[in-house]
Amino acid sequence: MPQSEKTNSTRKTRLLALIAALSAANVAFRIALTGGPPNVKPTAFLVIVAGVVGGPICGFAVGWLSMTISDLAFGAGVWTIETSSGMAIVGLLAGLLWHHLRSFNRWKMALGGFLLTMLYDVGTSVVDALIFNYPWLSSLLALYVPFISGGVTPWPFGLAHELTTAALLGTIGPSLIIRIRKVYQ
């Protein structure tokens, strides 16, 4: 086998290993943290890391697999298609935005992660409202001010999700990305 084919084969194998490892970690975290505070999970963080390290396709795959496989443990339904698609888009966009960067500003990573996670939360909430036929504005309000919208909990699910992702990307994100790149690229 020529050296170029061997190198290409090794890169593909490493990329598949990265997808498998980050997807498995996300599934484990989603299941293990089920009883904890709602939406305080590293799912979007690891999907964004996958996109940054492995590129848009890798981010897409980790986003899709993480949500689909973990939903099998929770009870998959029509929402699995929307949540898997939404998280896959987060990974795809992260890869398109940051895959070619060599250095990372912690504040920009945190803000970008916050906005990508907000896109996911708002998108899945609106799709839920359309699928299950309830007002989309109430769905959006429930993400951030649930006690005003008549929600059953005072916990702001959307804000908790976005702040968790931003905090992880702003603190350990750049270091983790650089370390993973050393192994997988």
Q: What is the pLDDT of residues 53-102, one digit of tens each?
A: 999 999 999 999 999 999 999 988 988 999 999 999 999 999 999 999 99
Longest CA pairwise span in the chain (Å): 65
- Say if CB 52 and CB 99 are below 8 A apart: yes
- Lowest mean pLDDT segment, chosen from 5-19, 56-70, 115-129, 142-156: 142-156
> Has residue 1 got a pLDDT over 60?
no
> Has residue 156 got a pLDDT over 70?
yes
Residue 52: C-alpha distances to residues 35, 59, 88, 182 (Å): 29, 7, 13, 13
Residue with the larger pLDDT of the pair 181 and 155: 181
Q: What is the pLDDT of residues 4-52, one digit of tens each?
A: 666 888 889 999 999 999 999 999 999 999 888 888 899 999 999 999 9
pLDDT of residue 176: 96
Q: What is the domain range of residue 36?
A: 3-184
- Say if CB 59 and CB 48 are below 8 A apart: yes
pLDDT of residue 95: 98
Sign, CA dihedral 139-75-29-81, equals: negative
Count of domains for the chain: 1
Residues in the chain: 185
> Has residue 147 got a pLDDT over 80?
no
Any idea what the CATH number is for the domain that residue 129 is in?
1.10.1760.20
- Say if CB 132 and CB 63 are below 8 A apart: no
